[in-house]
A and B are shown apart, each in its own frame.
Chain A
C-alpha cells in the first residue's frame, strides 16, 4: 500500500537525517560512537524542548517569538533566586514554570481576545521577557548549588563510554509528551483544527479561545523547561543568552516537516529537525577546517528545500479538479 501523503515530509526528514549521518560516518567512523550520540542529545536538549512547544504553536498556524528571551529569563531567574534566597532548586523550578506558563497564557489570551497576529503579540513578549531578565541582573550569574551540580552530573554511561545525560533524557521525554498531547488528545485535535482553519474549527465545535490560550501556555511551559535545562547545561544565568533561539526552533520545526502555515506535521519530526541541525554542527567540529557559519548556510539551504518540498507536496495532495462556481 502506498504510504499516506501526509507522512511524506516526516519521511523526508528522517531520510535526510540518516543519509547525512551515513555520509558523516563514511568520512569519520567515530561519528557512530555513543559519545557522539550522547553529546548530540545533550547539546541540543534545550533546543529540542523549546521546539516541541514551537511545534504545537506552528501546528495551530501561529508563531511564538518570545521563547528565546523566556529561556534567558529562566536562567537568570534561577541563578538569582538560588543566589539571593534559600529556596531549594526544585521550588525555584516550580515557581519558574508557573511564571512562564502564565506568561504564555496571557499572550494567548491577547492573541485571541484582541484578534491580534501572534507575530506582534509574541514579539512584544520577546522584548518583555528579555527586559525582565535584564531587570534581575545585567551580569552572568554563576549557579553554585550542590543539588544543581548533582543534576549536571547525573547520567547513564552507555556502552562505548557515551553519556546519556539527564537533560538529554528530558528532551526525549518532552518529545514523547508533546507527541501524545498533539496527536492523541482532544486538545491536540483542536490545535490541528485551528491550524486547518479557525472558522471551520469553530463550526466543528472547537473552543478556539481556550485552545489558543492553552497553545501559548504550553509553549511558555516548554520554554521554561528549556530554560531550566539550559541553566543546568551552562551552569549559569545570563540575560544575553539564547538570542535568536526562537528562530532556530522555528527552523527545526520546519525542517522537521511541519507545515509553517499550520495544520500538518508531527512532533517526532521536530526531534529529527533538531538532530539534523546538531549533526551539521558536529560534522563541522569533526572537520576542524570549516568555519561555523557553514552551519547556518546548510540550515538555510535545508530550510529552502523543505519549503519547496512542502509546496510541491501540497500540489500533489490537492485533487486536480477545477471547481466551477455556480
Chain B
C-alpha cells in the first residue's frame, strides 16, 4: 500500500468530524472518496494535507509514519492536492505558475527562457498545446485545472488528491481531465478522487470508500458496487430497517386548499421545469444527493435565482418571484443551508436576529417598537425552547441547534404561508434534531406549509407528507402516503430512468 490510514480521529468543539477512519490507497489506483456534506471527506483530506492536525490515529506513506504539519510539508512528502477552486494565480503566466518558488535563475535573476522551457517540459504528456507565456487566467477552467495538476504532480509525485475537480467543467472538459487522471494512474500515482457525481465515480475509479457522519462505512471495488447499494451507503439506510419505519401521518394532506402552485417552473442550467403544488399545512420533503438540484429548486422558488419559464400562483393569483423581496411579499420564507454565512448575523443579539426579517418588511422608517420586539423575542424563545441566557446574547455564542431555532423564529415571526428549510438539522446535535422536527410538525398544524430539504432520509420520511425526488437537476419522482419509505426514495434516486412513481 502506498498510503495506509488507521483509526484516524479528529474532533471539533461539539462534533466528532472523523471517528476511527481507515483508508488505504494503492499506487496506480484511482480511489473515490464519497459522502454527503459533513460526512468527513474534507476533514480527512485536510488531515492528509497538513491543514489539520489529527487527534489520534496513524498515517503511513510507503510504510513510514508521517505527520504533515503544513501544505508545504505534505507536498515535500509527496502528497499534492488540487481543489475545485483552482489554487493558482490567474494574473501570472502559465510558466510562472508552474515554476513558482523554483524558478530557474541565472546570475541571481530569473531566466525567463529557461522558465518557459521548464514549464513546457512539465506539461509534456498532458496533451495540452498552450502558450506558457500567457496569463493563466486567459485559459478555461479545465486547462487551469490540468496546469494545477501538473504543478501538484511535479512538486509531490506520489499521491494526488482531486477535490471536486469536475464541478465546474462541461462534459468534454471532464473527459479531457479524466484522460489526464488515467495517464497519471498508469504512471503509478495514487489518486484520491472526491466527487458527488456518481456517474464519474463509476467511470473513473477503481475503488470507492464511503464516509458518513465521520465514520468509514465501506470500501469496495467500484466494479462490484451497484448504484442503489452505493447511495444506500451514502444516505445511511438499510432496507430491513425501512420496513419498520414509522412515518408521519402521510394521509392527511389529501384534498386540502392549494396555497402555492408552480407550473413548468425552471431555469436553464439550474433546474429543469417542474410542477409543484403546495397545499395548506403540508410538509413536502425534497430528497436527492448533494448537487442534484435540491437547493437550486429552493433558490428558484424564493426568487434568489429568477425562473426563465413557467409561472407561480399564490391562492390562484399569478405572482412574480424574481427577487427574495417579492417572495417575502408573497408570504414565503427561506432558511438557507449555510446558516453561518447566510442565515444568522452572528454579532447581533437573539432579539435582533428574530425581528430582522419583520423589520425589513416594515421598512426602516417604521421601527418595530422595543416593547413589541422584546415580546416577540420572549414568545419565540419560549415557544421554540431556545437555550439562551437572555434575549440580548449574541447569536454567534449559541449552539448550532439554537442558532437554527433563531433562524426558524425569524421566519415564524413573519407568519409566512410557505416556509422553505434547507438542511434545517445540519450541524445540530441529536436532541435539538428531534426538537426541530417536532417544531416543523407543530407549525404546520397552524396551516403553514413547509418544504424541507435534507440529506437524511429518516428525517424526511418522518416529517413529510409528500416527497419530491430530485436527480440531475430534474424532479424525477413524487412519493406520497404509504409510498414514503427510505427504500423507495433510494430507488428513485438511483434508478437512471425512473419515471413518476404513481
Contact = CB atoms under 8 A, between A and B. Distances in A.
Interface in B85-112: 87-93, 96-97, 100-101, 103, 105, 108-110, 112
A211 B494 CA distance: 52
Contacts of B133: 4
Interface stretch (A37-45, A156-164, A181-189, A279-287): A181-189
A1 to B, nearest CB: 9
Given A180-B109, A200-B88, A317 B168 contact: no
Interface string B458-473: 0000000000000000
A320 to B, nearest CB: 10
Interface residues of B, number: 36
Interface residues of A, number: 32
A326 B291 CA distance: 5
A319 B86 CA distance: 15
A192 B87 CA distance: 15
A5 B270 CA distance: 33
Contact of B196 (A184, A206, A326): A326
Given A185-B109, A186-B103, A204 B137 contact: no
Contacts of A235: none
Nearest to A321: B140
Interface of A: 4-6, 180, 183-186, 188-189, 192-193, 195-197, 200-201, 203-206, 263-264, 317-319, 321-326
Given A203-B87, A319-B137, 15 more contacts: A4-B135, A5-B134, A189-B103, A195-B91, A203-B71, A204-B100, A317-B137, A319-B138, A323-B168, A324-B269, A325-B167, A325-B168, A326-B84, A326-B167, A326-B197
6 contacts: A6-B135, A184-B109, A189-B100, A200-B88, A317-B137, A326-B196
Contacts of B84: 326
Contacts, number: 84
B101 A319 contact: no
A196 B88 CA distance: 9
A41 B262 CA distance: 71
B45 interface: no
Contacts of B112: 184
B138 A5 contact: yes
Given A193-B92, A196-B92, A205 B100 contact: yes
Interface in B41-96: 71-72, 84, 87-93, 96
Nearest to A264: B91
Given A192-B89, A204-B101, A326-B196, A184 B110 contact: yes
A200 B270 CA distance: 29
B103 A192 contact: no
Contacts of B137: 317-319
Contact of B168 (A193, A204, A205, A326): A326
A77 to B, nearest CB: 32
Contact of B89 (A185, A197, A325): A197
Interface in B124-142: 133-135, 137-141
A317 B269 CA distance: 24
B22 to A, nearest CB: 28
B110 A319 contact: no
B435 interface: no
Nearest to B173: A321
Given A321-B140, A326-B167, A196 B91 contact: yes
Given A324-B168, A324-B269, A5 B135 contact: yes
B91 A192 contact: yes
A192 B103 CA distance: 14
A201 B141 CA distance: 19
Given A204-B101, A205-B100, A325-B167, A319 B89 contact: no
A193 B100 contact: yes
B483 interface: no
B118 interface: no
